[in-house]
Amino acid sequence: MYARIRGIDGFYQQTKTNVQAGTKLDASVFDMEYVRYARQMDDNVGQIWENLEPGTLLMCVSSQGDTMKATLLLDKKKESKANNTDDWTPANEKELAAAVDRARQNIGFFAVRI
């Protein structure tokens, strides 16, 4: 069985749209919304777990790590280049490199229902 976590995907698209529109994101609101979607995902996986037959393997694997921050920073870099502004700094470049490294990592969880 394969499933996408649509809540997280929708949150990412909404965040990207707000950033592209120039809307200033409040970090606390961003964190609260992300936590809300993460809890919803946890509840969904919990319901699947509770309904598994004994001896069933549950595998949850991401195809990559968190790509949202890397994508948002890359968009900011492209926008800075396109507008010929000086708001892209070496510190931003370092932050982008770290975000790309994190995005290249994947995570996984395996469990057998007893």
Which one of 9, 28, 51 terminates a domain? Answer: 51
DSSP string, the chain: -----HHHHHHHHHHHHHHHTTPPPPHHHHHHHHHHHHHHHHHHHHHHHHTSPTT-EEEEE-SSS--HHHHHHHHHHHHHHHTT-S---HHHHHHHHHHHHHHT---EEEEE--
Is residue 112 very low, low, confident or very high in pLDDT (cuts 50, 70, 90)? Answer: very high
Same domain, 59 and 106: yes
Domain range for 67 is: 54-114
pTM, full prediction: 0.49
Same domain, 99 and 62: yes
Same domain, 16 and 43: yes
Give the mean pLDDT of 56-81.
Answer: 83
Give the mean pLDDT of 82-90.
Answer: 87
- Between 80 and 36, residue with greater pLDDT: 80
The total of structural domains in the chain comes to 2
Same domain, 75 and 44: no
CB neighbour list of residue 39: distance below 8 Å, 6 or more residues apart: none
Same domain, 34 and 79: no
Same domain, 29 and 72: no
pLDDT digits (tens, 9 = 90+) for 14-23: 666 665 666 6
Give the mean pLDDT of 54-64.
Answer: 84
Say if residue 75's pLDDT is above 90. Answer: no
Is residue 1 very low, low, confident or very high in pLDDT (cuts 50, 70, 90)? Answer: very low
Same domain, 73 and 114: yes
Same domain, 22 and 65: no
Same domain, 5 and 46: yes
